[in-house]
Structures are given as structure tokens and as C-alpha cells.
Amino acid sequence: MQLFQTPGDTILAKPASSRKAPAKAADGAENFALRSLQEALEKNPRFAASDDELLKFYEQMLLIRRFEEKAGQLYGLGLIGGFCHLYIGQEAVAVGLQSALDESRDSVITGYRDHGHMLAYGIDPKVIMAELTGRGAGISKGKGGSMHMFSVEHKFYGGHGIVGAQVPLGAGLAFAHQYREDGGLCMAYFGDGAANQGQVYEAFNMAALWNLPAIFVVENNGYAMGTAVTRGSAETEFHRRGTAFRIPGMKVNGMDVLEVRAAAEIAVAHVRAGKGPVLMELHTYRYRGHSMSDPAKYRTREEVQEMRENHDPIDAAKAELLKRGVAEERLKEIEKQIRSIVNESADFAENSPEPDMAELYTDVLVESY
């Protein structure tokens, strides 16, 4: 029991002097339209990308794919240790969503499957790979590892290893945007597994109550480690899970980068207009195991094969580019460039020295006392 919580206390009354009144609550229940964003998306489900824009998405997705394949390889060689969660298959989510953000003011936070988000945000592959191999040149000086990477410069706030923790942290970043009135928003990614953590709903409640500029993104890849969503979730339509807090939801095909981008624009416009948080559910699929040590026996090889062959976001983007008449040579050139970027990052990661032993004691505290 909490102290001082007796009937009749002011706690039961809605604080009148409180922060900006939530816009939705003010609208009253009759005007409360949870599906408005979804309807907007259905009306116009694909972003009208120019050839150059689509090429850019293709390039970014391919970079993530090749980077992650290389990371898997380096793990196999023992150059990467511990846990390593690959983003292969989910590329369209990070690329499509982040392309709609304003890098100069918006912040991003995610869980432990974070390499793809960092690459989509333009962070140098070299320092990411060097972090994976635990080298001093890594983005966290080799002290964070795969799950704990940050770039304050790029407003990328991690890289968090505790499932679901990034959701209230993301709400806190959104709170800071609102407090400073800098016009930014925070995009907080989490998985279908994290969506069952209690703190996620604590954060939803406060985000809606305080009208925070937050976009909550459920990357529903079908499996919470080895537990299929139907075995772990009573409500598998995750976009509905904001309903109890009057947060509008969107259900998006996360294997189509143009649909992801279209959805992102709707969500961003809603949040920027001061209408409070949005919950997006992106349907996606990871081809690899949960982590490198996952034998993935909870699903069939055929299921994975079907996704790879018929729903791959990179193949789809490539097919569309070719259909638009973009020369195959150009795509081959991009592929070649990416291979060389990734190989370079791997060489860098392998050949950079381990952190200086003195680093053991640095950065524990900022100040000295």
C-alpha cells in the first residue's frame, strides 16, 4: 500500500492546474477517434518516393543486411562475443521510419537489437563494428558491446539491454523535448516481447496524460525470443494496446519500406501537431535467430524461407527499382560499394586495438569527488 491514499484525498481528483490538458481527453469520448491514423494510412498506404529516394532506402537497407551478415560471420569467428542480435529481415522498419524523422531535433531509442537503427541513422559502420568486436575505437570505447551503443551526436539514445526499459526512457526523452519546447519528438522502438512488460503501459499512461511527443513503435517480428506472439500475448493486435490510454494505433506492413515511410509521416504529423503519442505496430520478420546462439527450432525452415523469398523488403525494393527503369548496373554498383564499406568496417573492427587497460576505470562517474 502507498501511504496517504485514502478516499477523499485529492489524488482522486483530476488536477486542474496540471500540465497541458491532453487534447484527446478534451475532445470528449464521443470524438475520440482511435482509428483516424489507420484510416489515413489505408487511404494512402504507400509513400510516393522518387527514384532517388527509393534508391536511398534500398542502399540503407542493403547496408544493414550486409553489415549484419558480416557481424554474424565475425561472431562465428569468435571476434564478437556475448549476445549479438541481428536485424536481418527487419531493415525496412528502421529505414522507413527514420527517414521521416528530422535528425536535427528528433531522438531515437531502442532495445538490444540496435545495429540497424544506428546504421539507418547514419552512424559510421566502422565504429559500430569496432564496438561489436570490443575495440577501443568502438562507439562506446569497447565498453558497451552490441546491446549498449549510443550516439548523443546523432540523438541516438541506445541500445538498452533490459527488455522494455527503453519505453519509459523514450517517454522521458519526449518529456525533455516538450519541456524544452524544441519541436522534437522521440521514437521509441520495442519488440512484441517487450510489449508485455508492465512498464510499457506505465509509460503509455503518462505519455498520453501529459501529451508527450512520442512515437511508440512495436516491431512485431512474430517471436519473443522463441515464444510465438500467440503463445505469449492475449491481445496480438499490438496497435490496439494503446486504446486503454487513448493512444491511436497504426498497423503497418513492416516489410514494405514505402508503406513504413507513409505511416511514419502520418504519425509524425500527428505528434508534431501536439496531439500526443502514437502507437505503431510494424509487422516484420527476423530471418535469423533471436541471438546468435538461438537454434530457432520454434519455427519451420519453410516459414523462414517463405518470408525470405516472397516478402523480403530489399528484394521488393530492388524489383520496384528495376521496374521503374533504374539500370541494373546502378544497383550492382551500390551493392559493390556497400560490400566494400562493410568489409572496411570489418577490417577496422578486427585490426583496431583493444581498449587501453586504463579505460577499465574511466567513465564510471563523470565528476571526481
Partner 1 sequence: MSIELKMPALSPTMEEGTLAKWLVKVGDEVKAGDILAEIETDKATMEFEAVDEGTVGAILVPEGTEGVKVGTVIAVIGGEGESVSALASAPAQPAEAAPATIAAERPAPAVRPADPVVPAGTNMRQVTVREALRDAMAEEMRRDSRVFVMGEEVAQYQGAYKVTQGLLDEFGPKRVIDTPITEYGFAGIGVGAAMGGLRPIVEFMTFNFAMQAIDHVINSAAKTNYMSGGQMRCPVVFRGPNAAASRVGAQHSQNFGPWYASVPGLIVIAPYDASDAKGLLKAAIRSEDPVVFLENELVYGRSFELPELDDHVLPIGKARIMREGKDVTIVSYSIGVGLALEAAETLAAEGIEAEVLDLRTLRPLDKEAVLASLAKTNRLVIAEEGWPVCSIASEIMAICMEDGFDHLDAPVLRVCDEDVPLPYAANLEKAAIIDAPRIVAAVRKVCYR
Q: According to the binding rule CB under 8 A, does residue 297 interact with partner 1?
A: yes
Among 67, 150, 223, 348, binds partner 1 (CB under 8 A): 150
Q: Judged by CB, which is closer to partner 1: 52, or 302?
A: 302
Helix, coil or strand: residue 68: helix
Within 37-96, which residues bind partner 1 (CB under 8 A)? 69-70, 72-73, 75-79, 81-83
How is 123-163 classified by DSSP, letter by letter?
--HHHHHHHHTT-TTSTTTTSS-TT---BTTTTEEEE--ST
Q: According to the binding rule CB under 8 A, does residue 199 interact with partner 1?
A: yes
Q: How far is the CB of 36 from partner 1 (least distance, A)?
A: 26
Q: According to the binding rule CB under 8 A, does residue 144 interact with partner 1?
A: yes
Within 1-20, which residues bind partner 1 (CB under 8 A)? 2-5, 9-11, 15, 17-19
Helix, coil or strand: residue 189: strand
Query: Phi then psi for 252, rounded to 5 degrees?
Result: -130, 140
Among 167, 255, 258, 317, binds partner 1 (CB under 8 A): 167
Tell me how far the alpha carbon of residue 228 is from its chain's centroid: 20
Q: Judged by CB, which is closer to partner 1: 38, or 107?
A: 107
**Residue 89 near residue 168, CB atoms below 8 Å:** no
The contact mask relative to partner 1 for 94-133 (x = CB under 8 A, - = no) is -------------x-x------------------------
Q: According to the binding rule CB under 8 A, does residue 358 interact with partner 1?
A: yes
List, in sequence order, the alpha helices (H) in the chain: 23-27, 36-43, 51-76, 91-98, 115-120, 125-132, 166-180, 198-209, 229-232, 257-272, 301-310, 313-323, 328-351
Q: Judged by CB, which is closer to partner 1: 158, or 313?
A: 158
Q: Which three cell numbers stand for residue 221?
A: 517480428
Q: According to the binding rule CB under 8 A, does residue 356 interact with partner 1?
A: yes
Q: According to the binding rule CB under 8 A, does residue 275 interact with partner 1?
A: no
Q: According to the binding rule CB under 8 A, does residue 154 interact with partner 1?
A: no
Q: Give the bridge partners for 189, in sequence order.
A: 217
Query: Phi then psi for 283, rounded to 5 degrees?
Result: -80, 120
